């Protein structure tokens, strides 16, 4: 799907354990994003990256860290997972649409995380 994959797609973990979600792209796009989906909140931005080793916080960054050591991979880490971090996490890349020419987000399929 437009060269973006997320792994794992599903994960169940326990409170207090570390979790890392991976976003991998084959499009060589500079910008990558992590969002979380929650009922009543739509999509909320956690962190984003504008290049290798360049990242910035979003709306709900507390409890999350990210790393981008190479263009193709953007990792989201929950150092000590809590039940409030149960959610579906979407990665997105930003690049030029072949249809419109505009810079748009292309989303991965999502990673469903359950923290017990």
- Which residues would be at the binding site for other proteins (CB under 8 A)? 1, 31, 33, 35, 40-45, 48, 50, 56, 58-59, 90, 94, 97, 100, 102-110
Which DSSP state fits 84? G
Name which of 34 and 85 has its Cβ closer to other proteins.
34
Instruction: Output the CA torsion sign for 16, 10, 61, 74.
Output: positive
Name which of 16 and 41 has its Cβ closer to other proteins.
41
* Residue 35: HSE in the Cβ half-sphere, 13 Å Cα cutoff: 18
Backbone angles phi and psi of 70, in degrees to 5: -145, 160
Q: Least distance to other proteins from the beta carbon of 11, Å?
A: 18
Q: Least distance to other proteins from the beta carbon of 37, Å?
A: 9
The span from the CA of 4 to the CA of 40, in Å, is 26
Q: Least distance to other proteins from the beta carbon of 80, Å?
A: 25
Name which of 56 and 79 has its Cβ closer to other proteins.
56
């Amino acid at each position: 799907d437009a060269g973006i994959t997320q792994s794992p797609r599903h994960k169940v973990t326990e409170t207090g354990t570390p979790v890392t979600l991976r976003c991998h792209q084959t499009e060589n796009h500079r910008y990558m994003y992590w969002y979380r989906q929650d009922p009543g909140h739509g999509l909320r931005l956690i962190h984003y990256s504008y290049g290798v080793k360049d990242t910035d916080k979003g709306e709900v960054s507390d409890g999350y860290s990210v790393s981008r050591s190479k263009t193709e991979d953007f990792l989201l880490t929950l150092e000590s997972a809590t039940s409030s971090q149960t959610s579906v996490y979407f990665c997105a890349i930003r690049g030029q649409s072949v249809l419109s020419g505009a810079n748009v987000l292309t989303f991965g399929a999502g990673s469903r995380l359950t923290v017990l």
